[in-house]
Every structure is written in C-alpha cells, then in structure tokens.
Amino acid sequence: MAYEFDRIDLNTLLLVLQEFRYVGQVRGTLQTGANIAGPAQVTLVLTDGKLVESRLVASDGTQFTGEDALRLAHAYTPSAWQLLPDHRGHPQTSSFSPPKASSSRRAPVPPPGGEWSLLQPSSIAHRVDSVDEQILQTWETRQRMVYRLINGQRSMEIIRRLVSLSPEAMERAIAALLAKQVITLS
C-alpha cells in the first residue's frame, strides 16, 4: 500500500519518517531546472528511519546517487511524495500509519462533539526560537514531531494529519509547546 504526502519539504519528511522508524521507499517526481533533463524520478530508501540509499534518474537517463541525488532532491522538491512501506521482515513498520487524507485542500474535520477547544484547525504556529537538539530529545515524541513540522505556514490540521494524531492528542502537544514558550499561535 502506498501513501502520498503533498506540500512537505524533504527535510521535514525525513524527520517524521525518522521518528516513525520508517522502512521502505520514498519516491517523487522532480520538475528540474536547466542543469538536469526533467522531469526526474527520485527514490530514497530508508531502514529503521535512516536514509540508506538515494538515487535520481533524469528523463534523459542520467543517474545521480548518494549525496548528489540527495542534494538535487533538496533543490527541486516534488509537489508530492509517495511512501511505499516495506513490511516484509520489519515488524516495526506495522505501526506506521500515515494520515488517511494528505491533501490540504480538504475541509478539516472537528473532533467528536464540536470545535477544537485550544485552537482552530486553520491556526498557524510559529517557532519563537530554535531549540537545541539535546533539549528537544527530552520532550515527548509527539511534541518533537509537532514542533519539527511547525514552519509558520502549515495549519494545525495539516500538521495533525502528518503525524496521525487525534485532535485531543494534538491539543495536548500544542498546549505543552505553548507552556514551554517555544511557539506562538496566529
């Protein structure tokens, strides 16, 4: 089964997949510039959340691997990423369940019983300042995942779906980040 994410940069995607200890492939089609015949296909292979292989094949057959492929994937981020989990022999991937709806064009669904109490799905969070990685590692996993996805552009609903949190769990994570004074909401 394949999953698709749109409007997410490569760094953020890799951080989320690292948190989930993802095993499988990530594919995307890049609309490249003058340096590479496009469109180009990029394939990243992850094991236990770590990037182990990267390759890019341009439309003229030119191939890039390793750091070169990764650099180009960063430069020409595709509009959507396709995730192809590999469940064979990897029991840790059985818990990997990306959101059912990845499109930001769909209407947000409020939690049972009505409105979100702390924030609206369309609320946007902004980081107050960067947090040292050692401090970040002391936070709960959900708080880390949500914090890493906050970029001042994504709505709370998009972030919630990217990390597959219930509205209640999302509110708890946001409340904790607000209490830590590392984010603000608009």
- Examine residue 94 and state whether it is found in any structural domain, yes or no: no
What's the angle, vertex CA 119, arms to CA 116 and CA 125, rounded to 5?
145
Which pLDDT belongs to residue 103? Answer: 36
Residue 115 in domain: no
Q: Which of 87, 106, 141 is the last residue of a domain?
A: 87
> Which of 37, 59, 87 is a domain's end point?
87
The answer to the question of residue 16 being in a domain is yes
pLDDT the model gives residue 115? 43
* pLDDT of 123 over the 80 cut: yes
- How deeply is 53 buried, as exposed, middle or buried, from its count of CB atoms within 10 A (0-12, 13-18, 19+)? middle
Tell me what the pLDDT averaged over the chain comes to.
77
Distance (Å, whole) CA 91 – CA 166: 24
Residue 26 domain-assigned (yes or no):
yes
Tokens 């191939």 found at: 63
Is 98 contained in some domain?
no
- Domain encompassing residue 177: 125-185
> Looking at residue 119, what is its pLDDT?
62
Give me the mean pLDDT over the 16-43 stretch.
81
- What is the number of domains present in the chain? 2
Q: What is the pTM of this model?
A: 0.52
Residue 62's pLDDT is 87
- Residue 56 lies inside a defined structural domain of this protein: yes
29 part of a folded domain: yes
Same domain, residue pair 80 and 24 = yes
pLDDT tier, 89 (very low <50, low <70, confident <90, very high otherwise): very low
Residue recorded with tokens 């089609």: 29
Q: DSSP class of residue 37? A: -
Q: Judge if 131 and 82 occupy the same domain.
A: no
Report whether pLDDT(79) > 60: yes
Distance between CA 85 and CA 163 in Å, rounded?
16
Q: Token match 């996805």: residue?
A: 149
How would you write 88-142 as a 3-class SS string? CCCHHHHHCCCCCCCCCCCCCCCCCCCCCCCCCCCCEEEECCCCCHHHHCCCCHH
For the ranges 86-90, 129-133, 147-151, 171-175, the one whose mean pLDDT is highest: 147-151
